[in-house]
Amino acid sequence: MPVGFSDFEGREKLASAELGVFLENAHDVTHLRFPVKSRRHRDAVDSNLIYDTQTDPQQQQSLVKDDALEARLAQQMRSLLKRFDVPPCQYERMGP
């Protein structure tokens, strides 16, 4: 029975799950995949949360206003996603 961090997953959540091999490096082992709401970032789909944790360890001032920085970091993220062969659904927030 699949479990979350604190308890077993409910029937409703399991009923919405996809079953499949989503990663090439999963060695043909099937996994359950289901959507999860982000509590940490409050499902912030309309903006990116970018912080300089060296100068702003409490993450009070987002650097998202810097378009050049955001574009450079997005390209680095795409490269890492490709390098680690993540499932296509992980690219959704990145845009084209």
Closest residue by Cα to residue 62 from 54, 50, 73 = 50
Query: Strand, helix or coil at 20?
Result: strand
DSSP string across 24-38: GGGTT--EEE-----
pLDDT in tens, the chain (96 residues): 565 666 677 788 888 888 998 888 888 999 888 877 666 655 555 667 788 889 999 988 887 777 888 889 889 999 999 898 888 878 776 665
For 31, phi then psi, to 5°, come to -130, 160
Sequence-distant (6+) residues with CB within 8 A of 24 are 85
Q: What is the pLDDT of residue 76?
A: 93
The whole-model pTM stands at 0.55
Q: What is the pLDDT of residue 4?
A: 61
Q: What is the pLDDT of residue 29?
A: 92
Extents of the domains making up the chain: 1-36, 46-85
